[in-house]
Structure 1
Amino acid sequence: MRQPAPAPDDDLKLSAWLPYRLFLVAAQVARPLEGFYGETFGLSQAGWRILAVIAERDGANASEIGRACALDPFAVSRGIGQLVELGFAVRRPGKTDRRFAAVSITRSGRNAFNRIAAFGSAIEARLLARLSEAERVTLDSTLHKLEAESARIDTGGWRSLLDNTAAS
């Protein structure tokens, strides 16, 4: 019977890896939120994300929505279709180019968004209640830095990361 090789100390440990830990926190709070908007409004995850974007940026086009939600064009199209079907959004042709339809939230969509946002805010408040004011300020500052660096990592792509690792 073969024994597994011991892991070197410098190997990545998933349970201690920052991106995985951030993912777990996000996934654990997303599940109850998803259950709420799914059961209450019949929304998919993409539908909810798009609804949140158009609640903030009424009249956004599919391309803008995709960037804001980190969704591929197919998921954006399906999500917009779902919102239109539910009566939460309307799609209007672009003024100069019909390919760039503007998506606007309806009164019904705004009401749904407000209820989901209130539930989401309650989740956020519960998380933040575990932190002191100083920890909240530090967390906010830290997240800004991580968001900026993760955007640079994403823009550079995996090959750039591999090149940087080899050069180190």
Structure 2
Amino acid sequence: MASSAPALELGRWLPYRMFVVAGRVAELLESFYGPRWGMGLPAWRILAVVADRPGVSAREIARACGLDAVAVSRGIGQLAALGFARREAGAQDRRYASVTLTAEGEAAFAEIAALARAIEARLLAALPEEERAALDRALDRLDTASGKIAGAGWRALLADARAEGLGR
């Protein structure tokens, strides 16, 4: 039986299109920092979060990076083994650990961030100034909307889609 629901065109689906752009950028960055320092993508994400928020906890890193606790622990371990980060137990609660960058970690981050800014500049150069501003506003709204969607959960979304005649 044929479905009356519209087909999903992957190449036109907004989340996929955003994933493709982000994936290309991530691969390009990883081709730089991977061979240079032996760092993987999770470690780079953690490095960037810790550079932005020194003293951040593993739980906060997991939320910021969208990584599970195991990946965060391994990434922090990798950064510590490279001499890029320190993990310090909390004074009151030994289970809490804050993560900070070492001077070597800050230097590595600075090199990677310079390349990241160059990539961003090239991407934004493809847009006129008014489109850049519109994109920034749109991404802010999409970030807020995606948080609400994720908070509602897939069951609510599926029920809404069914009620609207978009799903089976």
- What TM-score comes out, normalization by structure 1 length? 0.93
CA offsets 1:109-151 (integer angstroms, 9 cap, x no match): 0000000000010000000001000000000000001111111
1:83 maps to 79
Distance in 2 between the 1:13 and 1:65 partners?
A: 34
1:48 maps to 44
Deviation at 1:104, TM superposition (A): 0.7
How many residues matched?
164
Q: Which moved more, 1:59-68 or 1:155-164?
A: 155-164
Deviation at 1:95, TM superposition (A): 1.9
* 1:61 is the counterpart of 2:57: yes
1:103 maps to 99
Structure 1 stretches of at least 4 aligned residues deviating more than 4 Å after TM superposition: 5-9
Structure 1 unaligned residues grouped into runs of 5+: none
Deviation at 1:156, TM superposition (A): 1.3
* 1:163 is the counterpart of 2:159: yes
| Identical residues among aligned pairs (%) | 52
* 1:116 is the counterpart of 2:112: yes
Distance in 2 between the 1:120 and 1:160 partners?
A: 37
Deviation at 1:85, TM superposition (A): 0.4
1:8 and 1:16, CA in 2 relative to 1: closer, same or farther beyond 3 A? farther
Structure 2 unaligned residues grouped into runs of 5+: none
Q: Which moved more, 1:70-79 or 1:88-97?
A: 88-97
**Bigger RCO (CA 8 Å, 6+ sep):** 2
Distance in 1 between the 2:112 and 2:142 partners?
A: 27
Of the three residues 123, 146, 153, the one matched with 2:149 is 153
Distance in 2 between the 1:56 and 1:6 partners?
A: 51
Deviation at 1:164, TM superposition (A): 1.6
Distance in 1 between the 2:23 and 2:43 partners?
A: 17
- What TM-score comes out, normalization by structure 2 length? 0.93
Distance in 1 between the 2:135 and 2:2 partners?
A: 35
Of the three residues 56, 60, 67, the one matched with 1:71 is 67
RMSD value, Cα: 1.6
User: Which residue type is aligned with residue 64 of structure 1?
Assistant: E
Distance in 2 between the 1:64 and 1:99 partners?
A: 14
Deviation at 1:9, TM superposition (A): 7.9
1:21 maps to 17
User: Which residue type is aligned with residue 153 of structure 2?
Assistant: G
